[in-house]
Amino acid sequence: MLVRAVAAGLVVASVATASPWLGPVWSGFLLGFPTTLIASAWMLYGHYGREFTAATLNAAQPSMVVYTSFCLALHLLAGPLPALTAVIVAFVGAATFAATLALVLSRRR
């Protein structure tokens, strides 16, 4: 557990230290997406093994599309709309997209 905490801390500290050169977009992207996904996979692997972790990451692929749609919608709406309204509209849009994607994927199976 200590090794995991140190490794995660080093990743976060590295990105945070490089943030002035990376800029806010890349800093946010590198802190949010890969760090969370890698930490989750590492924890799952430690508790449940390789097969479970691989199945979980494979099942998470459609949710990455939904997450991307939320980020894109928030990016596009943040200027024209007030902040809270932009977050709510982006969330509702992503939830609608997720429900549609789930329906399509469940019918394909």
| Domain ranges within the chain, ordered by starting residue | 1-48, 61-109
Tens of pLDDT, residue by residue, the chain (109 residues): 677 677 777 877 887 788 888 887 777 777 766 677 777 788 888 889 999 988 888 877 777 788 889 889 999 999 899 999 999 999 999 999 989 988 888 888 7
Instruction: Name the DSSP letter for residue 109.
Output: -
- Confidence (pLDDT) at 93: 94
The answer to whether the CB of 73 falls within 8 A of the CB of 89 is: yes
Instruction: Name the DSSP letter for residue 35.
Output: H
The answer to whether the CB of 12 falls within 8 A of the CB of 31 is: yes
